[in-house]
Amino acid sequence: GKEGVQKVTASNVIIATGSRPKSIPGFPIDEDRVLSSTGALMLKSLPKRLLILGAGAIGIEFAYVMNAFGVEVTVVEMLPQILPLEDSEVVTVVEKEFTKRGVKFHVGTRAIGMDRGNSSIQVRLQKGDEAPYTVEADKVLVAVGRAPNTEDLGLEKIGVALEKGFIKVGDYYETSVRGVYAVGDVVPTPLLAHVASKEGEIAVEHIAGKKPPSRIPLDEIPQAVYCEPEVASFGVTENEAQKRGLKYQKAIFPYRGVGKAVAVESAEGMVKLLFDSSTGEILGAHIVGLQATELIHEILLAKKAEAGTEDIAAMVHAHPTLSEGVMEASRAAEGWAIHI
């Protein structure tokens, strides 16, 4: 064959080519004035003013970091709320804290184009059908999601089925072609490192003749946003529960009622549980506040083990810990929260 081209034969192949930052029309990424998340991490100096397009986890995490370093940050989101995948009550806490620190949000707003000046960029924004207006920044960060790397792999040649650029998979993450598997950001599951890792384990164990679960249940995947206050969740949001017509109740316990949170001066936050009122089954959990990304797992384990709110409520939790907030939210669900 061609010089340097190597041919490898295998009975099983796993496609794990990942994803790249998505771009949007009118904002070509040059990693100089218009950055992707990759370029933003490579910055040697800080801009005075940064405009972030997209308020998902990546946009919000960069907004937090840049604001902490003294950058003037403006965030634009097309959808009506920042962190569109998260529960709106939790998002309100994040928004309030960020606004207090000087981050500006434009929600329900589209970026329709930009003009490069000598030293700054004029970004044209439009909220709904209102008249467009302009915001000035030194750099723009495009954080509107990620696109799967499925082009130029020869997938069409062997007949691997795609849908909207993602690889369609069945049980054990096997594609439409037997012996060819796909995991991670190239398949249409949440684009998270911990999801990719588990998918890889399932595919490899299946190839090795073990008996792994056929796939990760979507309502058992924890989502995490690493800003301050942290956000963590799994299962349905209250909005989704209403849309699906689920019979649910909710219980909320504020961080202010947790001794440890008050002692370490991080009393902003809440633990919110959505549960089936007749069975106590946990349908979703949403935490905002200090160490939320650690606290979520106790509730997720309860769901996975088919334990309900009463089990967490009755379990002795060490004092003083933030985990007591999880216990108290579960007690609130059972109707006997004490420190509230």
319 is catalytic: yes
Residue of 106, 194, 297, 319 marked active site: 319
- 83 sits in the region (left: phi over 0; alpha: psi -120 to 50; else beta) called left
Separation of alpha carbons 309 and 333, rounded Å: 7
Largest CA distance in the chain: 74
Q: How far is CA 276 from the centre of its chain?
A: 25
SS (HEC) of 82-133: CCCCCCHHHHHHHHHHHHHCCCEEEECEEEEEEEECCCCEEEEEEECCCCCE
Token representation of residue 200: 């890889």
Q: Which residues contact 328 (CB under 8 A, 6 or more apart)?
A: 253, 257, 258, 271, 337, 338, 339, 340
Q: How far apart are the first and last CA of the chain?
A: 73
Q: Yes or no: say if 253 and 329 are a contact pair by the CB < 8 Å rule.
A: yes
Q: For the chain, state the CA radius of gyration.
A: 23
Q: Yes or no: say if 57 and 82 are a contact pair by the CB < 8 Å rule.
A: no
Question: Which residue in 131, 134, 144 sits closest to 49, CA to CA?
Answer: 134
DSSP three-state, residue 212: coil
Task: Fill in the amino acid letter for 241.
Answer: A
Q: Which residues are catalytic?
A: 319
